[in-house]
A and B are shown apart, each in its own frame.
Chain A
Amino acid sequence: MKSPDYVPYSYFYNPKFINQAKEALAFIPNPDQGWANPTDCVEFTCTGLYNIVIYIENPRYSGDTIPIGLPTRTFSIISNNVEEGSISAQAIPNCNLIDDWNAYACETDDIGTLIFDSKDPDR
């Protein structure tokens, strides 16, 4: 994904996973450090990929390969902020890091995205 600024909130309703390995269900890459340039995010890390929320309602699993250990009811997948000193998903109850996804699986539907949109001319 090439999303330095923002990836919109994603809602999945009744997705069906057939012969799905847990490790291959999702992946959220870290921001490209090359985006920290004068055109994109100046000297700062672009945080779009650190603010992804994927809401999954009523997932269904079937087949010979089942992603064992995932919630069977509504859950959310959110980014793993690896910036030094940053605390994000690990502070949210019922969120568990899944290394293969580079993301957290959170047994909650209470996670949203709050956007502050600057109206300055140089936004």
Chain B
Amino acid sequence: MVATGNVVSGSWHHGFHFTPDRCDGSTSNKFENNVAHSVSGYGAIAKNVPNDCTEVKNFWSYKVTEAALMLGGPSLINRATNVHSIDTRYGIAVHTAADHESSLIEPRAELHNCKVYSELMDNMDCAPGQVCDHCIDRTGMVLNQATSQKHDDFQIKWPKLPLFKGSGNLSGAGYYYDMEFIGFTSKTTTCGSRQ
């Protein structure tokens, strides 16, 4: 599957649902240079795949009510590179989901050169004159939630979000390189939610 240069907006639950590539680019699955915005849910959800290293790169998402990207399959390394989260609830959600002996193997959640922006002041949740029925918290990113089972990558119904589950695996780490956090000038948003 190849999906490049697309824009999705206004959808429910997620903008994209795709099979991610290996870090070495050795599969035929290419998901790059796509944008998701104004989604009641995730910008993009990567399908759970068991690779040595899985990577999602060059993706932009703004104004979504869950995370810009959800990547939580059973690969030893789950990596996001050059992913941009702008004004989203959970930022970039890359987690590990591999049951390994903690003393032997360390599953890794990695972010490389990713950028996280806070609330956009010119696109407020509750602009003056509007009914304020959608004032959501903002988080730049959620630390690796290491589960020994798996994180959800789809739902038949929408019983409860987020897709990432709690802990349970005592192995794993989060490695975050050259990230930028931009515009978190207050711990509250303009409508009073937490960020």
**Chain A interface (Cβ < 8 Å from any Cβ of B):** 1-21, 23-25, 27, 48, 52, 54, 65, 100, 115, 117
Chain A positions within 8 Å of B166 at CB level? 2-5
Asked if A21 meets B169 with Cβ closer than 8 Å, knowing A7-B145, A11-B174, A16-B180, the reply is no
Asked if A8 meets B187 with Cβ closer than 8 Å, knowing A13-B176, A14-B177, the reply is no
Chain A positions within 8 Å of B171 at CB level? 8
Chain A positions within 8 Å of B178 at CB level? 13-16
- B167 contacts A10, C-beta separation under 8 Å: no
B181 interfacial by beta-carbon distance below 8 Å: yes
Interface membership of chain B positions 171-195, coded 1 if the CB is closer than 8 angstroms to chain A and 0 otherwise: 1111111111111111100000011
Instruction: Tell which of A5, A17, A100 touches B181, judged by Cβ atoms closer than 8 Å.
Output: A17
27 A-B residue pairings within 8 Å (CB atoms): A1-B145, A4-B166, A4-B167, A5-B170, A7-B143, A7-B145, A7-B167, A8-B144, A8-B146, A8-B171, A8-B173, A10-B143, A10-B144, A10-B174, A15-B176, A16-B179, A16-B181, A17-B180, A17-B181, A18-B180, A20-B185, A21-B185, A27-B194, A48-B167, A52-B143, A100-B187, A117-B101
Interface contacts (Cβ under 8 Å), in number, total 104
- Complex Cα distance, B171 from A115, in Å, reads 9
Q: How large is the interface on B (under 10, 10 to 19, 20 to 34, 35 or more residues)?
A: 35 or more
Interface membership of chain B positions 89-110, coded 1 if the CB is closer than 8 angstroms to chain A and 0 otherwise: 0000000100001110000010
- Complex Cα distance, B188 from A21, in Å, reads 11
